[in-house]
Amino acid sequence: MTLSPKLLSALRNLVDKQGGADVDWINIADARALTELGFARRTRAGWEITSEGLALVKSGSGGPEGPTLVS
């Protein structure tokens, strides 16, 4: 599966957020798109990456720059 650059950036921000880093804001439309794909979820604490989203980023699928999903 390949992600658009915007969605990939949002997904990487969620990875960094999970790791405790300060991250830029995440566009709601991008976060919702990631949620529909099963890569993120909305909680009381904000948007979080799912295990599926984390696995996608870690796999680096889609080439050297990671996933490239075009929907």
Tell me the pTM. Answer: 0.78
pLDDT digits (tens, 9 = 90+) for 16-69: 998 999 888 889 999 999 999 999 999 998 899 999 999 998 887 633 455 444
**CA 53/CA 39 separation, integer angstroms:** 4
pLDDT at 71 over 50: no
Concatenate the DSSP letters of all residues of 13-52 into one string.
Answer: HHHHHHTT-------HHHHHHHHHHTSEEEETTEEEE-HH
Task: Give the mean pLDDT of 4-13.
Answer: 90
pLDDT score recorded for residue 37? 94
pLDDT, residue 7, reads 92
